[in-house]
Structure 1
Amino acid sequence: MYLQRLKLASYIKYGSDVCRSVKSTAMLRRCVRRGLSMQPEYSAFNKNMPHTLKLQNGEKIESTFSKAEMSGRISKLRKLMETENINGVLFTSYHNVNYYSDYMYCNFGRPYGLVVTQDKVVTISAKVNGAYPWRKTVGDNIIYTDWHRDNYYRAVYQELGEIKGKVGCEFDHINLDSFKKLQTALPASTVVDIGHSAMYLRTVKSNEEIALIKEGARIADIGGGAIIEALAEGVGEHEIALHAVQTMVKEIAKSRPNIALQDTWSWFQSGHFNSENCHNPVTSRKVKKGDICVMNCFPMMAGYYSALERNVFLDHVSDDHLRVWEANCKVFETGKELIKPGAKCKDVAHGMNEVYKSYDLLQYRSFGYGHSFGVLSHYYGREAALEFREDIDTVLEPNMVMSLEPMIALPETHPAAGGYREHDVIVVTEDGSETITHFPYGPEHMVIKK
């Protein structure tokens, strides 16, 4: 008991800005129990160092999108906040922070955020990033330091602590520990979920977003050409993938000279084991003639993802593989016919299922038939309400952008063992759909003889 009192006394003596705003000892105890660190300063030096600061070094970087585009996004969010009676928002995910601020953070074990109220837009970043977040953010920026534990939540309090009522956050992104600290940092507020509602705002793309995704699709096609260029017997998967990445990054730099060159990647998966899973990592396995392979090109611009994926065989394809490949291409083509405004995602999935059934291949299907595009990568994003799956009732609308990627994987005991996948990016239009990746596919084009 004595040690507990001594510990509490040290909190009172050296407590954070957050807990200094809490008047009662009982509330302070609750702060401590909830997990927000209120420990004394580690040294006199730390004690005198700032918790948060502003750093404006250089000039603002040209935004990826126009001022009208970015203000339009914030305006729609603020209308949502009014509808749901939410007085402030703290976004923490890559996709929402980037979507509303044009700043793509580098996590590296530290939390980041974006505060939106009816009168401000502010990113919260770690000091390790210097002034870059301010230069990149469409809005303001506040920096938290490492001099004291939980300074991130002091920054949150600084920007949202005066709000009474609801503060929205992303329940599908923050963990339990972070949620408890957020509650502690905002004792006058009720933390509610806004992640699900915000997702729906992102599902319909603006014309500027579609233009950027189309440019990414063009560059993905160039990456596909680079893969075919590098493909040869005895060449390692990693060498083929590296050539595609370098080619795409150079094209992005040429096309968008003011954009950050980060996160573009490629996978090349060869042989029936490596190709069976679309997310299998690149290896140093050397390609052999007759291998079933899957090429994957993913150019990234400003956090926006485009993709091209194709089956490819080197030199020749067996009769068994050819039959399955042709069937998968038929499913691919059927899906394109089904994508149109007014169609439900689940109906597209059911229609493609029927084609697989006719070939007795449905049991080999690997995952849903496609997903929404936009602020997305292999480690962030995903608009779960917009996927071609049997449990998704979402109705397609013009300016939704989705992948179509039917895949089946046959086991090693099957004479056509391996993974089969074709993948295009498709924009829903007023009267149908537009395929914006244009690389050839199927046996007529993708049996590569060298």
Structure 2
Amino acid sequence: MSLVTRLRHGLPTRFFRNLLQKNDQCTKHTSRVRMAHTDTWHINNMPSLIAIKNGEKAKGTFSKGEMESRITKLRNLMSKDNIDGVIFTSHHNINYYSDFLYCEFGRPYGLVVTHDKVLSISANIDGGYPWRWTANGDNIVYTDWQRNNYYQAVKQELGQYGKIGCEFDHINLDNYRKLTDALPHSTMVDVGEPTMYLRMIKSDEEIAHIKEGARIADIGGGAVVEAMAEGVGEHEVALHCTQTMIREIARSRPNMTLQDTWTWFQSGINTDGAHNPVTTRKLQKGDVCSMNCFPMMGGYYTALERTLFLDHASDASMRVWEANCEVHEAGMKLIKPGIKCSEIAQEMNLVYEKHNLLHRRTFGYGHSFGVLCHYYGREAALEIREDIETVLKPNMVVSIEPTVMLPEGEPGAGGYREHNILVVTEDGAENITHFPYGPQHNIVKK
């Protein structure tokens, strides 16, 4: 049976059918297990903090020199502002400075950096994984046996210091109160914004890593086109794309954690929002479609986003699509060192105005890349919008992704978006997205 036929009907594999049968048999014979009561087991006597150094340190996403360079720059920032220690709590900063990407699931995590140590704080549920993936430091584990053991770890590691940095843009009021209670003799200062500016300039290793992600995203785009056909559900197209990208990551980067690669594929009315979830809607000829391929490697996000049509596009759709591609090309030509994000946005607005589409624009023209994802991270100072005055510098990495949306009932209704990743160089920019865009390439006929 062909791929398109299998996707169109959503047929399970033989392995999946057997798995369902076994699961059903297990369910029928599962018995209820009761936990025996015991009066001799005292929770309060259990340890609040432990160490789990299980196995060997992981190879890691980046070299030892790369990770040491990041910590050195952070410590220079700390010295400049007389900061004794830092407690990071966000996914992006913990990952950036240690290579450990945590799964929160209701428990707090942290990374302590002082002038002489780097140490991650993790929950007992994760075992030795956090220690293995804290590339440049140690790890301490807090248990569930007593409430707020996480803050016992924070107090143990930072209680003797006076000036402590934390991320004001990440920590909520309740956790900030717990943090200050744990460190009553310390003064809290913000390091969220200053570290964002440090992350915005990418190293050569980071850029090579992002380029590999862009390459894999292009492969995901090919998988989307392969799976698109009349009667195939959005979810089947997205599944095929995600599986293809994960397999390519596993092939090209065998030591990489396979975490959070995903695909958004929208069709018809579902294209009106860039972040709309995948549905089971089945594709129809003439549909406008949005592909959004997101390979994730070591917490680093890359993306390929394209407008496509299945079988044909109306004259009205072609007009909007071609205009959006013109804006896209104008934006890519503007990326160079020395230009402000606001100036790029204003120039791109002029192209939309020429086509009477500016009022249909839905969000900013692009953003930075690096340690970020759909549920964590954002380098807000590198958004390409009219209100951002950041000046582009070499080794910044940004997207150009103009988007317009025409509501149902209007000719050419739907969402249109093209997205490329560009690395700012000394005298211009390098486009690292190579999947083609526009009507000449992306009207998919089956």
TM-score over 0.5 (shorter chain): yes
Distance 1:47 1:375 in 2: 39
- Listed as ranges, the matches of 1:118-137 within 5 Å are 118-137=115-134
Match of 1:104 in 2: 101
CA change 1:43–1:94 in 2 (3 A) is farther
Match of 1:93 in 2: 90
SS of the residue aligned with 1:388? coil
Match of 2:144 in 1: 146
SS of the residue aligned with 2:132? helix
Match of 2:219 in 1: 222
Match of 2:424 among 415, 422, 428: 428
| CA distances 1:55-107 after superposition (whole Å, capped 9, x unpaired) | 11100000111111000000000000011111100000000000000000000
Match of 2:435 in 1: 439
Match of 1:69 among 66, 86, 90: 66
- Please tell me whether residue 199 in structure 1 is matched to residue 225 in structure 2: no
Distance 1:308 1:110 in 2: 32
- Please tell me whether residue 378 in structure 1 is matched to residue 374 in structure 2: yes
TM-score of the two chains, using structure 2 as the length reference: 0.90
Match of 1:22 in 2: none
| CA RMSD after TM alignment | 0.9
Quote how far apart the aligned CAs of 1:44 are. Answer: 6.1
Provide the identity percentage. Answer: 67
Amino acid at match of 1:153: Y
Amino acid at match of 1:204: I
Distance 2:216 2:367 in 1: 20
TM-score of the two chains, using structure 1 as the length reference: 0.90
Distance 1:122 1:115 in 2: 5
Distance 1:323 1:390 in 2: 26
Structure 2 unaligned residues grouped into runs of 5+: 1-38
Quote how far apart the aligned CAs of 1:202 are. Answer: 0.2
Amino acid at match of 2:161: I
Match of 2:7 in 1: none
Amino acid at match of 2:262: W
| CA distances 1:259-310 after superposition (whole Å, capped 9, x unpaired) | 1111000011000x20010000000000000001111100000000110000
SS of the residue aligned with 2:345? helix
Match of 1:175 among 172, 176, 180: 172
| CA distances 1:192-214 after superposition (whole Å, capped 9, x unpaired) | 11100010000000000000000
Distance 1:351 1:283 in 2: 36
Distance 1:161 1:172 in 2: 22
Match of 1:265 among 262, 265, 269: 262
Distance 2:408 2:415 in 1: 10
Distance 1:436 1:377 in 2: 19
- Listed as ranges, the matches of 1:298-447 within 5 Å are 298-447=294-443
Quote how far apart the aligned CAs of 1:413 are. Answer: 2.7
Distance 1:89 1:199 in 2: 14
Where does structure 1 differ by over 3 angstroms across 4 or more consecutive aligned residues? none
- Listed as ranges, the matches of 1:10-29 within 5 Å are none
Structure 1 unaligned residues grouped into runs of 5+: 1-41
